[in-house]
Amino acid sequence: QIETIFDSKGPTDTAEFMSAASRGRLNVIDKYLADGGNPNVHDELRRTALHRASLEGHTEVIQTLVEKGADVNFKDQLGSRAMHWACRGGSPDIVKTLRSLGADLNARDKLYSTPLHVATRTGHAAIVEYLLSCGAKIDSRDREGDTALHDAVRLNRYKIAELLLAAGADRNIKNHEGVTAVEQVKEWQFCVMDTLQRMENLREVATERISREE
């Protein structure tokens, strides 16, 4: 992505504004808003400057945007909000800032994923711990019926799985395939054992063939 050079004498256009949000260039943000720019302007995927700043971790930009009218719960094309993007970005401080500005900790995107789901999938344990401490709904299920615990187990996020269990996650909830998080572990172990057994059988066959040829 090419960064447009900011000219303090001329008007700030939308492309500059969006780029500045990603890069944390507060002077460009201030100029755009002072010129009457719309803080909720978005790209073709309905991603706003606030979404970008939340992903990249620019606290001052986030605070300025919200103070000037940016909707902290604005949804992009897939229903993700700034809080979802902050959880992808991985900064607990940004998550805390958004919460202080009124962001919904239990917001769902179009796949019914909550910020807790996102933080779990992306492996950000500190954010998971913070969300849980704030009372985020621990057993919310996404479109597949998976809870954050399902995600943690499936993706081998051991520390996060421990955090979720310690916070009271229900290990008996079944997803839409009728599988609990614990059963996912058993299925995974079965698949590994099955693969190892097949490899051992192939090795034995190969050894037997070599013996015959000798």
pLDDT digits (tens, 9 = 90+) for 187-196: 666 654 565 5
Instruction: Sketch out the chain's domains with CATH numbers.
Output: 1-104 (1.25.40.20), 105-181 (1.25.40.20)
pLDDT digits (tens, 9 = 90+) for 63-90: 999 999 999 999 999 999 999 999 999 9
- Over range 204-213, report the average pLDDT: 72
Q: 124-160 as b/e, with b when 16 or more CB fall inside 10 Å?
A: bbebbbbbbeeebebebbbeeebbbbbbbbbeebeeb
> DSSP string of 116-162?
HHHHHHTT-HHHHHHHHHTT--TT---TTS--HHHHHHHTT-HHHHH
- Over range 14-36, report the average pLDDT: 95
H-only helix segments in 74-124: 82-89, 92-100, 115-121
pLDDT digits (tens, 9 = 90+) for 111-152: 999 999 999 999 999 999 999 999 999 999 999 999 999 999
Pick from 115, 100, 15: nearest CA to 66: 100
Gap between the Cα atoms of 10 and 195, Å rounded = 65
Residue type, 10: G
What 8-state DSSP symbol labels residue 176?
T
Yes or no: say if 17 and 37 are a contact pair by the CB < 8 Å rule.
yes
CA distances (Å), origin 4, targets 1, 13, 18, 19: 10, 10, 10, 8
Gap between the Cα atoms of 68 and 125, Å rounded = 32
**What predicted TM-score, i.e. pTM, was given to this entire model?**
0.82
- Three-state SS for 48? strand
Phi, psi of 22 (to 5 degrees): -70, -30
